């Protein structure tokens, strides 16, 4: 009996005082994903990587916005979004206290503007993503005049670009016709 008591005193209390004291979590613990909306370019790399479709992007082509949304209820905390984000806008924090009474509180959203096509005026891609692509080209040493040409290309929607290319190729073929004949 005394021996047991001594053993108990030696071991002490095993129970952690959480929730009355903060719980230290292990390094590398994958908790709530934190989105830094000002660093996000709305490129949808995270939504493509998300295995459980917790991350989704929806376009509103009438208002010209793209809405990024994260449903914490569906998130499995795998960290794929953090891995693929080109700008480091999403990181997994050490927070684990996510329980809610109201399910609507499990949603994080961010609205981004879409750029309108230079030719047809339809919304097609996030303005921030185009800006980021140009910044990358500039960083890799593309000269200023070529950069402006690229800007014109990037600010044109894929359909218009395709149409313009087709017209260009048709012109080239026509120009070569006499040589062939």
What angle, rounded to 10 degrees, do the helices at 127-139 and 144-154 form? 150
Cα–Cα distance for residue pair 87/45, rounded to 1 Å: 11
Does 169 interact with another protein (rule: CB under 8 A)?
no
* Shortest separation between residue 118's beta carbon and another protein, angstroms: 19
Asked if 79 contacts 30 with a C-beta cutoff of 8 angstroms, the reply is: yes
Of 141 and 178, which CB lies nearer to another protein in the complex structure?
141
Kindly tell me which residue out of 74, 164, 168, 176 binds another protein, with binding defined by CB under 8 A: 74
Asked if 61 contacts 114 with a C-beta cutoff of 8 angstroms, the reply is: yes
Does 109 interact with another protein (rule: CB under 8 A)?
yes
Size of the site for another protein (CB under 8 A): 59
Q: Mapping DSSP to helix (H, G, I), strand (E, B) and coil, where does residue 98 land?
A: coil
- Residue 70's DSSP bridge partners are 55, 108
Does 16 interact with another protein (rule: CB under 8 A)?
yes
Residue in this structure with the two tokens 């080239």, named with its chain if needed: 172
Kindly tell me which residue out of 44, 57, 64, 77 binds another protein, with binding defined by CB under 8 A: 77
Does 96 interact with another protein (rule: CB under 8 A)?
yes
Footprint of another protein on residues 127-166 (CB under 8 A)?
Answer: 128, 131-132, 135-136, 139-140
């Amino acid at each position: 009996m005394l021996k047991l008591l001594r053993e108990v005193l030696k071991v002490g209390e095993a129970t952690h005082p959480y929730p009355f004291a903060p719980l230290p979590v292990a390094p590398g613990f994958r908790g709530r994903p934190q989105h830094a909306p000002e660093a996000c370019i709305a490129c949808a790399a995270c939504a493509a990587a998300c295995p459980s479709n917790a991350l989704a992007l929806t376009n509103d082509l009438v208002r010209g916005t793209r809405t990024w949304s994260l449903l914490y209820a569906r998130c499995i905390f795998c960290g794929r979004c953090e891995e693929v984000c080109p700008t480091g806008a999403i990181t997994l924090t050490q927070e684990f206290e996510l329980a809610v009474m109201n399910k609507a509180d499990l949603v994080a959203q961010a609205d981004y503007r879409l750029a309108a096509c230079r030719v047809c005026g339809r919304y097609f891609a996030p303005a921030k993503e185009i800006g980021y692509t140009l910044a990358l080209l500039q960083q890799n040493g593309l000269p200023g005049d070529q950069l402006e040409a690229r800007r014109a290309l990037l600010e044109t929607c894929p359909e218009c670009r395709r149409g313009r290319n087709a017209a260009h190729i048709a012109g080239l073929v026509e120009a070569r016709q006499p040589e062939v004949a």
